[in-house]
Structure 1
Amino acid sequence: MAAGAVMHTFEVQLADVDRGVYDEVTVRAARHPSETDAYMVTRVLAYLLEYEDGVAFSGGISATEEPAVLIRDATGRITAWIEVGAPDAGRLHFGSKLADRTTVYTHRDPAKVRAGVAGKTIHRGEDIVLHSFDRGFIDAAVDALARRNTMTLSVTERQLYLDLNGTALSSAIHDQPLV
């Protein structure tokens, strides 16, 4: 019998000074057996760093026509296509045509992510921003991860301050063009 998804719950105090977003949020993230903890932590961070009305996780790995995180307006139209990890050029091309804005959050080496899409056709590829974190930041967050989590996340001047279950971490949010 195959193992099912593991549910992780995050009780979050969010203070994104850069965007003027302050909220208490409960995030439930299912980690599929084929998904790494690093990917899931990055997915949760992407959700919180993009937090606004209409933000949601997609249906998971079975939702091949959706990104890891998306934002819909009140009519249901996708306004932001948010990929995690190292998406292929085809997914980015599709998402960029569908949504007003496309972005990528990665827990991997950003140079390798950029190399993976170099020279490929991506609609509005020059507008896609790749967000990454300091080396070791995601791994340290994974070490503090539990099934039930308390988190304080603050962002100011693109510096992220994270307290995850009593472990204090920080990282710059590195923004660069994808192509």
Structure 2
Amino acid sequence: MALSATLHTFAVHLADVDRGVYEEWETRVARHPSETAEFMITRLLAYCLEYREGIAFSDGGVSSTDEPAVLARDHTGRITAWIEVGAPDAERVHRGSKLAERVAVYTHRDPVKVLAQLTGKKVHRAAEIPIRALDREFVDTAAGLVQRRNTLSVSVTEDVLYVELNGTDLSSPVTDHRIE
């Protein structure tokens, strides 16, 4: 018998001062049985940090081989943003870069190791793709705070992420790295 995904509900308040994006919404995030809590929270934070019209979690989630964790489409259905999470392989990043105007990778893992598996590989427009790293301890702490129903406030100022998750305040720099 296959295990089913666990649904987590988030009431999100976003204040991204760096991009001038201020929004509130409620979303359900399905956590696949093979997905770690750290991956799920990184996926949700990537969604917030990339928030734009047409953004969505991919249909297949962590188990999808055809889509990234998060993507955005315009009104015609064309992919405008391809957002990977974790440590994707070069082929996925290459494919996304050919399909979308914007590609980014958000990781809670060691960015040096993520970059090592991408550097020197064939990746379309590699120099334009940010590898955005979140502090591992920050992600671990946030993952431990997730419940079935959650309140999440996300503020971004000068590439510092301030989060209030279920009454606990956390912060992390968002450091950008580039594929060489």
Query: TM > 0.5 between the two?
Result: yes
Aligned length: 179
Matched, 1:41 2:60: no
- Report the counterpart of residue 10 of structure 2 in structure 1: 10
Secondary structure of 1:136 counterpart: helix
Preserved contact between residue 47 and residue 70 of structure 2 (Cα < 8 Å): yes
Match for 2:135: what amino acid? Answer: D
2: CA distance, partners of 1:170 / 1:98: 33
Shift of 1:116: 1.1
Task: Give the Cα separation in 2 of the matches to 1:154 and 1:84.
Answer: 20
Q: What secondary structure, in the 3-state scheme, does the structure 2 residue paired with 1:149 have?
A: strand
What SS does structure 2 have at the residue aligned with 1:41? helix
* Amino acid across the alignment from 2:48: L
Using the size of structure 2 for normalisation, the TM-score is 0.96
Structure 1: state its 5+ residue gaps. none
Alignment correspondent of 2:79: 78
For residues 19-98 of structure 1, the aligned pairs below 5 Å read 19-59=19-59, 60-98=61-99
Corresponding residue number in structure 2 for 1:114: 115
The equivalent of 1:158 in structure 2 is 159
Taking structure 1 as the reference length, the TM-score comes to 0.97
d(CA) in 1 for partners of 2:35, 2:24: 26
C-alpha displacement of 1:134: 2.2
The CA distance in 1 between the partners of 2:175 and 2:53, in whole Å, is 24
Q: CA deviation at 1:178?
A: 2.8
Could you say what secondary structure the match of 1:28 adopts? Answer: strand
2:14 touches 2:155 (CA, 8 Å); kept in 1? yes
Contact kept? 2:7, 2:29, Cα under 8 Å = yes
* Equivalent in the alignment of 2:170: 169
CA RMSD of aligned residues (A): 1.0
Deviation at 1:52, TM superposition (A): 1.0
Question: 1:125 corresponds to which letter in structure 2?
Answer: A
Shift of 1:57: 0.5
Identity across matched positions, percent: 61
For the residue of structure 2 that corresponds to 1:75, the secondary structure is coil
**Structure 1 outlier segments of 4+, above 2 Å:** none
The aligned counterpart of 1:139 is 140
**Which whole-Å CA distance do the structure 2 matches of 1:178 and 1:16 have between them?**
25
Tell which deviates more after alignment, 105-114 or 130-139. 130-139
Q: Contact 2:70–2:83 at 8 Å: present in 1 too?
A: yes
